[in-house]
Amino acid sequence: MLSGIKAIGVGLGLALRSPLILCALWLAGLAAALPATWLVTQEIEGSIGASRYQESMTDGFDAAWHEEYDASADGLGKTFDPSLVGAGAFFDNLERWMMGSLFTAHPALLTSAALFVLLWILLLGGVMDRYAQPGLLVDYTRFFRSCGLYFFRFVRLTALSAVLYYLVYRLLRVTFERIETLTQESTSESTVIAYSVLAWAVVALLLTLIHMCFGFAKASIVVEQRKSVLLAAVRGLGFVAFHPGKALTLYYGMLVASGLLLAAYTLIAPGVGQATPRAVGLAFLVAQCFLLARLWLRLGLIAGQVVLFRANLVVD
């Protein structure tokens, strides 16, 4: 019987043995980011070229220039911030996900993200079908047929999960309002911190459990050919409930691996001080290697959930 630890190894192996899927999704993410990147680049170039900082910026990042740029920038250019260079962007996205403020980003970024999410959902059907039948020869006709077959089911499942995420975020707001009320007369800062840490821990647990259960719900749709997303969601929840050790080991094991990868990238990621084309190219290469590794872990989790769900069908 497949354990959670073995599922991690099998999932990562399946993701690595499907390099075309890995590279295609990486290129899709890169392509989705290019339009916004180009627009911000044009605005930055215009600002530097029209300022007295043109020469000083060739020696590295100038904080004084950024202050003037931030004061005059508008539109998508307003989103540029040196704190988001390197690992900062991922910590910012993590904070937004935890706070439920992802949709407060710039409309152009939200549009780009929404299009990428739809593309990801479209390709996910073919990806999961491939992981569910690893012994079959690569069949691109089957891959794209599976993309279309599962697309609308996955969209409905995503909408259903969004309702649960919303309820968790509402719980977060109500909880912190309650904490503020309870600690109004408290003179101990440690009490406030303890309440806050406990609230964040509960929210993080609920968010990851939802993500985990709906991952197995997608596996149910593909492996069991379910058409009802509601029954698939129940199936995903039931799988986690009946196989908690395996499901939690797989999910949180991959989460720890992602955290270690992010920590390593935080240590080696170049900042904003690159002043030569070679340094900029190296920073870009390091960032793309991190994104590729992060995508591999994500696909490894998806593959692990598929094979773990499939391996326990007889038991269920």
Q: Sign (positive/negative) of CA torsion 154, 138, 303, 88? A: negative
HSE at residue 70, side-chain half, CA atoms within 13 A, is 11
Of residues 129, 66, 90, 95, the one with CA closest to residue 295? 90
Asked whether 217 and 228 are in contact (CB, 8 A), the reply is: no
**What are 71's two structure tokens?**
């004061």
CB 65, CB 56: distance < 8 Å: yes
The long-range contacts involving 170-173, CB below 8 angstroms and separated by at least 24 positions, are 171/203, 171/206, 172/99, 172/100, 172/199, 172/203
The burial class, CB within 10 Å (0-12 / 13-18 / 19+), for 149 is middle
* Residue bearing tokens 């215009």: 46
Report the greatest alpha carbon distance in the chain.
71
Q: Is residue 29 a contact partner of residue 298, using CB atoms and an 8 Å limit?
A: no
CA atoms within 13 A on the CB side of 120: 17
pLDDT for 138 equals: 74
Per the listing, tokens 């989705």 go with: 32
What is residue 139's predicted lDDT score, i.e. its pLDDT? 82
Phi-psi region of 37 (alpha: psi -120 to 50; beta: other; left: phi over 0): alpha
User: 215 Cβ partners below 8 Å, 6+ apart?
Assistant: 236, 251, 301, 302, 305
CA distance 214 to 232: 8
Judged by DSSP in three states, 300 sits in helix
CA 206 – CA 211 distance, rounded (Å): 9
Buried b (16+ CB within 10 A) or exposed e, 48-84: beebebeeebeeeebeebbeebeeebeebbeebeeee
Per-residue pLDDT of the chain (316 residues; tens, 9 = 90+): 678 899 999 999 999 998 999 999 999 888 887 877 777 777 777 666 655 656 666 666 666 666 766 666 666 666 666 666 666 666 666 667 667 666 666 677 777 778 888 999 999 999 999 999 887 777 888 999 999 999 999 999 999 999 999 999 888 888 888 887 777 766 677 777 887 888 888 888 999 999 999 999 999 999 999 999 999 999 999 999 999 999 999 999 999 999 999 889 888 877 666 666 777 788 788 888 999 999 999 999 999 999 999 998 754 5
CA atoms within 13 A on the CB side of 26: 19
The encoded tokens of residue 48 equal 């530097």
